[in-house]
Amino acid sequence: MSELTSMRLRISTPWLLLGGWLLLMIVSLLSRSYAPIDETRYVTVAWEMWLRGDYLVPHLNGETYSHKPPLLFWLFNLGWSIFGVNEWWPRLVPPLFGLGSLFLTIHIARRLWPEREVVAQLAPLMLLGSLFWAFYTTATMFDMMMVFFTLLGLSGVIDAWQRGGLRGWLILAVAIGLGVLAKGPVILLLTLPTALLAPWWMGAGRIVSLPRWYLAIFASVLGGAAIALAWAIPAAIAGGEAYADADHALLVVDQVTATTHGSCHRRRGFF
């Protein structure tokens, strides 16, 4: 690819991504409201959080709700406190994470293939144009948040591999912690395999001390756990014994297996 073409891609791709994202959002906002059962449930939980003024323990229909951690509900309430209570803000939060994920894709591609700018420019465009991405990027759910924090964690692993130092591991710790607050410990299944299997994908380009590498991974997991526990422990105390014992244990199991109990989260047969 010529240098001129590469420069044109660098300039045009961000605008194409933003334009495609805006088109999806406008169509979604004008063509539908919240879809039952999931979207309406999550907005209801955030609304009860707003009414109660209780930002520690989520509730649904007056009962404690531990099927999902609170980060998405916090962000809904943050926007309402700034813009006033409205319908459009909760529908904008997950897509903003989706937009951020597209730019993280550019960043990761440039770090992995610095000599192939076309990869960094075309990868997010292909992602935005895929059917499932186009669907989930406008959904008021947790998926785009998980994609964002997964990519953030992977960018931290790549930074630790290529540059060394603490920055990459701090990024991984933050990604794990916020990922747990977004959808639970399933973030570990999405980020740790890449870090743990580093000897198989690093190649000979950079030699690292494997004991130090794995110790740093362990420290990042502990750091992420500390972020999550900063909410989970006070919430368990405030939510009562049933919330602490049953619901928080269920959160770990259900988010890792992608199943939850109750009429709206029935266990699949293959689990």
CA distance linking residue 7 with residue 219, whole number of Å: 40
Whether the model clears a pTM of 0.75, i.e. scores above it, the answer is yes
pLDDT tens for 230-259 read 999 999 888 877 677 645 554 554 554 443
Q: What percent of the chain has pLDDT over 90?
A: 72
pLDDT tens for 108-117 read 999 999 988 8
For residue 266, give the DSSP letter: P
- Burial environment of residue 239 by CB neighbours within 10 A (0 to 12, 13 to 18, 19 or more): buried
Q: What are the sequence ranges of the domains in the chain?
A: 3-257
CA distance linking residue 73 with residue 86, whole number of Å: 14
